[in-house]
């Protein structure tokens, strides 16, 4: 009996894609509700909403920037031990050590950012400072737990951490919305609670085995983390840079709330890419391991062409109806002009193109060009910020310049690696 196209499509996806995709979708929808409702219902005025969303953007520079590579490397190491029939308890202990180091660094960075930016970023609200300092280590534990669940093959639990985090956060703010709490602080504090509760629930229902095993060698786990952390932190800094940069170049500008809302609205391409990413990276890794560079180029090329078309369509729609949609979603006080909104849409889309290209570099075991691409993009964006002119124009054009530069640098690094008969390896295989 021959496979139908539907069954072939299903078998092409990695095991566990469905529960993970469901969790990501729930997380995305609830995150949008979490960020939109305080503005749309009018409980937070533009000043309070600006402080609330800046907490979100700073948090998602620090937390994924510090801990997502730890999650991915830990999952890989746990899966390798499972495949070899070795116990994972020593690996979990080593992972906790790395998480503790990351948590200490994250705690320190969060404390410095919160104290230095207390007035300019967070409108002098102590509760937002507390929320940031507590949320960063909470997300550190969440990412480590996700790595353990996914590496153990418990994809239902892994998906639960995504959906549960978003649902718990939304449920936590619901009483605040109903009561009309008008200060940003209580809303921000929910970001420190939801990761821990989501992880606890997932681990209670999906318990990984922690059997004794051999000691952990450095090559098995941790040797490549510094370079991966560098690339991830720079990419998170770039994608979340607009509201933070605006706070630095335009203090007390009344358009800050609308700009933050515009960034949130134009994140749709990134949300769409998350659904593709789950199957793209394993696919590229398989092609790289078998030396199928022609198919590697073809797969990556088709994705980039499709995403470019999506970006073009998004920019056109933004120019036509973007401010209207923004007003309906957030309210009349949070509307950005079509021009800056189109620039944000274009830049968010180009960031996805750069992200796919740098992840192809990662698959080819080339982390240093990844770091160079993101660092070059940030430098280009910073250069645009130094130019004169309107603050909104500077940060939106700077964002687009940053993403275009990162994508161009990533493609430049990819070209020779994909043109050669064998894949160039920048770091020894672990």
Question: pLDDT by residue (tens digit) across 30-59?
Answer: 998 999 999 999 999 998 999 999 999 999
Q: CA-based Rg of the chain, rounded to a whole angstrom?
A: 21
Distance from C-alpha of 180 to C-alpha of 44, rounded to nearest angstrom: 8
- Nearest-10 Cα torsion for 43, 47, 53, 54: -160
Average pLDDT over residues 231-241: 92
Which structure tokens are listed for 84?
């070899």
Residue with tokens 């790395």: 98
Alpha helices of 331-366 — where are they, by DSSP H? 338-363
Average pLDDT over residues 319-346: 90
Please tell me which residue, 199 or 367, carries the higher pLDDT value.
199
Question: Has residue 11 got a pLDDT over 70?
Answer: no
Band the pLDDT of 423: cuts 50, 70, 90.
very low
Distance from C-alpha of 329 to C-alpha of 335, rounded to nearest angstrom: 10
Alpha helices of 206-289 — where are they, by DSSP H? 225-239, 241-249, 256-265, 268-289
The reported pLDDT for the residue numbered 1 is 43
Decide: 17 and 224 in contact? Cβ < 8 Å.
Answer: no
368 three-state secondary structure: helix
Reported as a single tens digit per residue, the pLDDT across 53-87 is 999 999 988 888 888 888 878 887 888 888 788 88
Question: Has residue 3 got a pLDDT over 50?
Answer: no
The reported pLDDT for the residue numbered 12 is 40
Reported as a single tens digit per residue, the pLDDT across 97-122 is 888 888 888 888 888 887 777 777 78
Question: Has residue 93 got a pLDDT over 60?
Answer: yes
Share of the chain above pLDDT 70, in %: 90
- Has this prediction a pTM greater than 0.85? no
Here the contacts of 305-313 (C-beta below 8 Å, separation 24 or greater) are 307/269, 307/273, 307/349, 307/352, 307/353, 307/356, 308/349, 308/353, 310/269, 310/272, 310/349, 311/269, 311/345, 311/346, 311/349, 311/350, 311/352, 311/353
Nearest to 245 by CA among 85, 253, 404: 253
Question: Has residue 356 got a pLDDT over 70?
Answer: yes
The reported pLDDT for the residue numbered 6 is 46
The reported pLDDT for the residue numbered 5 is 45
Average pLDDT over residues 14-24: 68
Band the pLDDT of 4: cuts 50, 70, 90.
very low
- Crossing angle (nearest 10°) for helices 256-265 and 46-84: 30
The reported pLDDT for the residue numbered 14 is 46
The reported pLDDT for the residue numbered 421 is 53
Decide: 137 and 63 in contact? Cβ < 8 Å.
Answer: no
Reported as a single tens digit per residue, the pLDDT across 371-381 is 999 999 999 99
The H or E element containing residue 126 is helix 126-151
Distance from C-alpha of 395 to C-alpha of 241, rounded to nearest angstrom: 9
The reported pLDDT for the residue numbered 374 is 96
**C-alpha angle 123-50-392 in degrees, rounded to nearest 5:** 115
Average pLDDT over residues 408-412: 95
Please list the helix, strand and coil fractions of the chain in percent, rounded to the nearest 5, in that order: 80, 0, 20
Distance from C-alpha of 131 to C-alpha of 137, rounded to nearest angstrom: 11
The reported pLDDT for the residue numbered 71 is 85
The reported pLDDT for the residue numbered 96 is 85
């Amino acid at each position: 009996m021959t496979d139908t196209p539907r069954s072939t499509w299903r078998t092409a996806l990695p095991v566990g894609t469905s529960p993970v995709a469901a969790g990501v979708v729930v997380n995305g929808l609830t995150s949008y509700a979490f960020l939109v409702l305080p503005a749309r219902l009018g409980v937070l005025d533009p000043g309070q909403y600006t402080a609330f969303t800046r907490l979100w953007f700073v948090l998602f520079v620090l937390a994924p920037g510090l801990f997502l590579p730890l999650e991915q490397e830990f999952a890989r190491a746990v899966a390798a031990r499972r495949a070899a029939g070795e116990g994972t308890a020593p690996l979990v202990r080593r992972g906790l050590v790395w998480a503790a180091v990351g948590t200490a660094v994250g705690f320190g960075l969060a404390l410095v950012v919160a104290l230095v930016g207390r007035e300019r970023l967070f409108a002098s609200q102590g509760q937002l400072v507390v929320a940031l300092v507590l949320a960063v280590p909470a997300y550190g534990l969440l990412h480590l737990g996700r790595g353990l669940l996914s590496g153990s093959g418990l994809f239902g639990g892994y998906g639960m951490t995504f959906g549960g985090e978003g649902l718990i956060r939304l449920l936590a703010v619901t009483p605040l919305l109903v009561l009309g709490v008008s200060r940003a602080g209580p809303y921000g504090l929910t970001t420190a609670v939801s990761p821990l509760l989501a992880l606890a629930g997932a681990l209670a229902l999906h318990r990984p085995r922690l059997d004794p095993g051999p000691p952990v060698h450095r090559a098995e786990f941790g040797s490549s983390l510094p370079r991966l952390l560098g690339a991830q932190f720079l990419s998170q800094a770039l994608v979340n840079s607009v509201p933070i940069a605006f706070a630095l170049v335009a203090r007390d500008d009344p358009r800050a709330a609308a700009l933050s809302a515009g960034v949130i609205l134009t994140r749709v391409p990134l949300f769409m890419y998350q659904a593709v990413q789950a199957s793209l990276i394993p696919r590229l890794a398989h092609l790289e391991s078998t030396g199928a560079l022609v198919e590697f180029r073809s797969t990556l090329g088709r994705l980039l062409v499709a995403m470019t078309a999506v970006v073009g369509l998004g920019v056109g729609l933004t120019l036509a109806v973007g401010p209207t949609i923004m007003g309906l979603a957030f309210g009349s006080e949070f509307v950005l002009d079509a021009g800056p909104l189109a620039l944000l849409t274009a830049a968010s889309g180009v960031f996805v193109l750069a992200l796919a290209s740098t992840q192809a570099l990662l698959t080819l075991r080339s982390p240093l060009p990844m770091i160079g691409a993101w660092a070059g993009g940030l430098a280009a964006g910073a250069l645009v910020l130094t130019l004169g002119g309107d603050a909104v124009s500077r940060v939106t054009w700077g964002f687009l310049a940053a993403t275009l530069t990162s994508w161009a640098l990533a493609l430049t690094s990819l070209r020779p690696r994909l043109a050669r008969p064998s894949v160039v390896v920048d770091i020894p295989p672990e």
